Structure formats: structure tokens, C-alpha cells
Amino acid sequence: MKSFRNIFFIGVALMLMASPVNSYAQYQSIALGVKIAPNIGWLRADLENYSNEGIVTGIGWGLISDFYFAENYAFSTGFTVSFHNGKISYPDLQSDAIGVLNRSYRLKYIDIPLLIKMKTNDLGKFRFFGNIGIQPGVRIGSKAKDSFRSTIPPMTITKDWHAIDSQTNLFRATMVIGGGIEYPIDNSTAIIAGINFINGLSDVLKGDNRVNTAVEHKGVPNAFELTIGVIF
């Protein structure tokens, strides 16, 4: 929670810095749009005996809101409904047997990007842009699918998708860095395509390990996100 509060205050500072410039600048413009954002994500688990079990596809969609305080510079926000998935394995205790739990996660968030966007001038029919900033989010759903295996006694227990909201944190914070290309269709409409690296800054899991209660669960979401959208 402390990490999330720090990220929130940084985001507020970014908005405050952008607002005065916008008030006095001669150039003022707002661009709105919609986007879809497929991603490949994973959970980073930096604990002994915890392992990432590969990347998993996800998707997001949402609204783009760019507030320009100069011709090539904007404060970019909006919202994204993000589906971030991942897999990890770790020691677990079930039915009095110690084994390994392989767990797949489906995590759903509403994210609020707080980004600075920088554009080039026209290069032929295209403009290139880069963006960097933070992205706080609120969890609106979380599910897991489990496969538990032990050797003494030999046992396999599986569980289909089930809600685990009590085992995940309500808030998360990520850092976003990326870029892309903008292709104008007419004077007010353009198609955009870009790629972002979503770097997790906070742990999204909570609770203690049942084999060693001194160890708290940990999983930090990372992803590469492809953004395709239309701005007006």
C-alpha cells in the first residue's frame, strides 16, 4: 500500500505540472479516442522456490484522452480495462500433503494511465510518438486455476477457475514506457499503433505460504502490450 500511495502522489504531481503550462500556452487541444490492447504477460515471483511458469496472453480496451500543452507534447490519460494473466508455481500444503501448486491467474483491472506523450513533426504521412509515465489500477476481479501435486503420498488435486479476490491486492501500480506511430486519415482523425512495456511496481498477491508461514506470497505483473486505436 505504501508503494501505491507513492505512485499516486507522483501521478498527481504530473497532472499539476501539466495544468499550469496548458493554461498559459497558446496552443490548446484535446484528442479523444478508443483503443484495444492485446498483451503477453507474466508474473515475476522473486522468492525462493517460487517460479514463473511462462507468459500468457491477455487483452485490454479503453479510452484515450490526450491533453496537449504544446503542439508536440501532451498529458495522456483515460482508462483501460486490463486482463493480465500469468502462471507461477510454489510449495503448498493440501490434504495434509506437501507438494507443488501450479497456479494460473486471470487478473482484471481498471487502469488509469498518467503519461507524458511526445510526438515528432510530420514525417511524410506519419508521426512517431513516445510515452512514459505511471499507471495506477484497481482490481475488479481475480480468478485462479490450480493443479497441486505431491509425491508423499502421491496425489494430484485440480481445481477449475475460481475467485481469489481475498488473495489479491485491491490496488496495483505499474510503470509504462513505449512508443508508436500515428497515421492521419483526415484533419481530425488518425489511426495509432504502438507497443508498451508494462513494468510492475507493486505486488498483486497477498497471504502467507501454507508450508512456510513466514513467507508471504509475491507476484509482480509485467507485460508487453500492443496498442491499436483511433483518435479524433
SS (H, E, C) 185-203: CCCCCEEEEEEEEEEECCC
> Range of 152's domain?
2-231
- Alpha carbons within 13 angstroms on the beta-carbon side of residue 12 total 6
Please give the helix or strand (H or E) that residue 31 lies within, else none: strand 29-36
Distance separating alpha carbons of residues 219 and 215, to the nearest angstrom = 13
Number of domains in the chain: 1
CATH code, domain with 175: 2.40.160.20
Rounded-to-integer distance, Cα 74 and Cα 130, Å: 11
Q: What is the pTM of this model?
A: 0.85
Residue by residue, pLDDT tens for the chain (232 residues) are 545 455 444 544 444 444 443 333 344 589 999 999 999 999 999 899 999 999 999 999 999 999 999 999 999 999 999 999 999 999 999 999 999 999 999 999 999 999 999 999 999 899 999 999 999 999 999 999 999 999 899 999 999 999 999 999 999 999 999 999 999 998 889 999 999 999 999 999 999 999 999 999 999 999 999 999 999 8
